[in-house]
Amino acid sequence: KAGVTQTPRYLIKTRGQQVTLSCSPISGHRSVSWYQQTPGQGLQFLFEYFSETQRNKGNFPGRFSGRQFSNSRSEMNVSTLELGDSALYLCASSLGTWAGGTNNEQFFGPGTRLTVL
């Protein structure tokens, strides 16, 4: 079974630009979550999508947004890039159901490394 795929793997942008990152979850998984990883703040939750609806949102400004398509693929967008947005952006997929207290296992992709100059 193929894992989580993220594209592109590397991006270089300049301040003020916007960027769109893409994530394809594991086949059959319906929940996609996005995280930002930086050396200073570690891994922080951005938002989660399930059935094309945002279910949870972390403490990030409105410049960070996302969406999910009917095939469960997800994109996140960052507008008006700032230097501090340089990070590894990780996508995680999970089944999306809560039966029996399980199915919360989240599997991460390789990430997109964004550098803002």
- Using alpha carbons only, give the angle 2, 46, 102 rounded to the nearest 5 degrees: 55
Nearer to another protein (CB atom), residue 17 or residue 88: 88
- The nearest distance, CB 72 to another protein, in angstroms, is 14
Nearer to another protein (CB atom), residue 16 or residue 102: 102
Phi, psi of 97 (to 5 degrees): -110, 165
- The nearest distance, CB 13 to another protein, in angstroms, is 19
- Separation of alpha carbons 27 and 19, rounded Å: 25
| Binding footprint of another protein on the chain (CB under 8 A) | 4, 31, 33, 35, 42-45, 48, 55-56, 58, 90, 92, 94, 98, 101-102, 104-111, 113
